[in-house]
Amino acid sequence: MDESGNLFAQQESNRRRSFWLVTGFIFFFAWVGFGGDIAWYLMTSGPAGGETRAQPLGPLHSPHTVPFIGIVATLLAGAICWYSWNKGADRILWSTGAREIFEASNDQEQRLINVVEEMAIAAGVPRPRIFVVPDPDPNAFATGIEPGKACIAVTEGLLARLNREELQAVVAHEMAHVRNFDTRLMTLLAAMVGAIALMSDGMGRILRYGNVSGRGGGGEGGKGKGNPLAIVILVLWLLTLIIAPIISRLLAMAVSRKREYLADATGAQFTRNPLALASALQHLDEAAQPTRTITQGAAHLCIVDPSGSQLSAHEGWLGDVFSSHPPLRLRIARLRGMGYQLAKQAGQLPAES
């Protein structure tokens, strides 16, 4: 279906997929957070609740009703998220050395301002702030957690290389990110990924040092025997913790790729000209230098991967799962499919002989 759907069908399909991916991610996060609590609770609520033991009651022996681990994980993710939502955009813009455009100082900038205003109208959002990044490599990104606070930045290389139509298509793609609240979503996911990494690291340390000091090993064994389910859950949870950082990153990258496809299709809806974006992406593909001013942290906000990574050029499984952007060739193919559908609707295709 994917290459041949029209731009509305593609939007729906991508929205649906990213919804399920995000739901899966949230469940995964819940498991990482609360799985340990469940195991702990099951272990400490066994029949031999610790009263008959000679050892003094400690935190590992009393019934565990408050899910500390889950709460800590959620608060951690919440704190990271809050910080990123409020300070993230400014930091990213500052780190790239972008300068804001208020008045055009030359024709190129005037053209950029006009194009951004046109796309803001087409998208039905207020005009975002406009920035130019002094980098000769062509790239563009958008930040801002909601349309009223959005910022769009393009590099000088992009302004020099693309014509008006292609510039319009790239700006439309970025406006689509803004209107679909992609920055908000990706920042939330990045916060969860960060929290999981921290938890995995933290738990790893606790367990290692816990074993060394022999944390009530005898007491644990006696109670735990009565509850095999608790042991199973505990083991599963520990395994999850080990691979959680990788899995969470994979999930986040998968969502990022779907949102990129969605932004392509939504941008095409704004311009009604998917072939212009296909042509722009082709130019960007040809100029495959890394964009040094944009760091990895902001990679998912850009139109093409700023690391100039050959990873995203491969269409194999490894390239697919670790890259924040889909392979350029697939994006161009889908856009051409949309263009074909539009031409067919408008009756512009030559008659079949």
Partner 1 sequence: MGIVLLVGIVVVALWFVGAYNKLISLKNQVANAWKQIDVQLKRRHDLIPNLVNAVKGAMDFEKSTLEAVIAARNKAVSAAGSGVAQVAQAEGQLTQALGRLFALSENYPQLKATANIQQLQEELTSTENKVGFARQLYNDVATSYNTAQQQFPTNLVAGVAKAAPAELWQIEDAGDRAVPNVDLKMS
Contact predicate 25/287, CB 8 Å: no
CB of 103 to partner 1, least distance (A): 14
Q: HSE on the CB side for 250, CA within 13 Å?
A: 12
Q: Contact between 107 and partner 1 (CB under 8 A)? A: yes
**Nearer to partner 1 by C-beta: 173 or 325?**
173
**Nearer to partner 1 by C-beta: 271 or 323?**
271
CB of 152 to partner 1, least distance (A): 16
CA–chain centroid gap for 261, Å, is 13
CB of 269 to partner 1, least distance (A): 8
Q: 3-state class of 142 per DSSP? A: strand
| Segment lying near partner 1 (by CB under 8 A), choices 28-36, 91-99, 113-121, 226-234 | 113-121
Q: Are strands 99-100 and 129-133 parallel, antiparallel or unpaired?
A: antiparallel
Q: 3-state class of 106 per DSSP? A: coil
Rounded to whole angstroms, the Cα distance separating 151 from 116 reads: 11
Please name which of 66, 59, 60 lies closest in space to residue 38, comparing C-alpha atoms.
66
What is the signed CA dihedral for 61, 66, 70, 72, rounded to 10 degrees?
-90
State the sign of the Cα–Cα–Cα–Cα dihedral 70, 71, 73, 77.
Answer: positive
**Nearer to partner 1 by C-beta: 32 or 152?**
152
Rounded to whole angstroms, the Cα distance separating 121 from 220 reads: 65
Which residues are registered as beta bridge partners of 131? 100, 153
Binding map of partner 1 across residues 219-258, x = CB under 8 A, - = no contact: ----------------------------------------
Q: Contact between 170 and partner 1 (CB under 8 A)? A: no
Binding map of partner 1 across residues 117-146, x = CB under 8 A, - = no contact: xxx-xxxx----------------------
| Segment lying near partner 1 (by CB under 8 A), choices 36-44, 55-63, 241-249, 267-275 | 267-275
**Nearer to partner 1 by C-beta: 62 or 345?**
345
**Nearer to partner 1 by C-beta: 126 or 297?**
126
In the complex, the residues that contact partner 1 under the rule CB under 8 A are: 107, 110-111, 114-115, 117-119, 121-124, 164, 269-270, 272
